[in-house]
Amino acid sequence: MTAAVLTLAVLTAAAALAGCGLADVVAGGKPRSPEEAIRVSPDDGTKDVRPTDRVVVRVPDGRLERVAVSRIEDDGSTPVPGRIAPDGLSWRPSGHARLVPAARYTVDAVALDGHGRRSARHTTFTTYVPPHRLVGFFTPEHGATVGTGMIVSLEFNRPVADRAAVERAVSATARPATEVTGHWFGARRLDFRPRARWRPGTQVTMDLRLRGVRAAPGVLGTQRKTVRFRIGRDQTSRVDAAAHTMTVWRGRRRLATLPVTAGGPGSPTYNGKMVILERHAVTRMDGDTVGFGAEYDIPDVPHALRLTTSGTFLHGNYWAPPRTFGGTNTSHGCVGLRDIQGGGPDTPAGWFYERSLVGDVVEVVNSRDREVAPDNGLGGWNMPWQEWRAGSALP
């Protein structure tokens, strides 16, 4: 029976007794209203209750039979621990239980007054929403199926001073069980990954329990969310910039070796392992946005797979002569596959695009550039495991 139904049932029974005169005859007095019989602080409907305020339920006489205080979440409710005093006249939270900010609470109480009359009361209140709220923007999305190289990444809207408190409030767990560890890149970004790529079929759950967490002076978390995603098949690709080829593997089976064009002498492609961040059937590429000025502005680049936040893509190329692919590196740092304008499903670029997932690993070797930075996109696979673990704020 829900709290609302229980309240209605008890009040209906009390009204029926009062209506036929039995309450006055048996108990010898006028029944109190629920508000008089059960006194709740904060008052019903109160807003902006401070986390330091205490919830108290009292009766002037008689005894409390039951009190339930709950925090209402998107995916259910969380009870607030507490106990009724030995004399039955009050209920208070247990120990150091505190209210959390930006939350809605309900209070349900049932009591007997000094004449044996039963009353029930249901109230609600909401807590203070801090002006400096901490919010984490996460990838991947809930319900996604991703490649085995996916790294869970959280970008916070404000700098985090107490990294340990925030990291304790975020967990990434896997089924089957896998060791997953966090790594901080500066004060705003927290990534999670296992020692090696995920096993296909793994179910990953990220729990954000940031509500009430003090991330920095005056900065409180407000999120309470569970994100689940699935690891799909294992596909990796290896671009050899010197040989102008890309070999695509599914597990240990080679699917294809495709001719490519990588970054030219003035703007070579990063070496190292990169993870597909986004898939775009068509996108615009403007040199102005990545520091190349007016050198290029292509409004309809087909089959574009983003590899870094700095602007490295693996994409279809319809403007270069066919002999370029497999023969010369001519791009501004991207990796190009032969395509046609508008994107062809049977071209090398179309073939690879249709077989790729966000979270697939693309590794570049034998380029003349440096290794991609671990925080440029999801480049954390380039960091040794011990170094990765050392970036956690927890022991």
Q: Which of 122, 183, 315, 332 is catalytic?
A: 315
The residues, any chain, with a CB within 8 Å of residue 299's CB and separated by 6 or more, are: 284
Taking residue 108's Cβ as centre, other Cβ atoms within 10 Å add up to: 21
Active site residue 20: no
Active site residue 244: no
Distances in Å between the alpha carbon of 172 and those of 158, 190, 208, 266, 385? 21, 11, 9, 41, 17
Tokens representing 205?
A: 């759950």
Structure tokens of 144? 């996604």
- In this structure, are residues 273 and 381 in contact, taking their beta carbons and an 8 Å threshold? yes
By CB neighbour count within 10 A (0-12 exposed, 13-18 middle, 19+ buried), where does 352 fall? buried
Q: Which amino acid is at 368?
A: R
Written as one letter, the residue type at 102 is A
Burial class (CB in 10 A: 0-12, 13-18, 19+), 226: middle
User: Side chain identity at 393, as an amino acid letter?
Assistant: A
CA 313 to chain CA centroid, nearest Å = 25
DSSP code for 289: G
- Active site residues per annotation: 315, 334
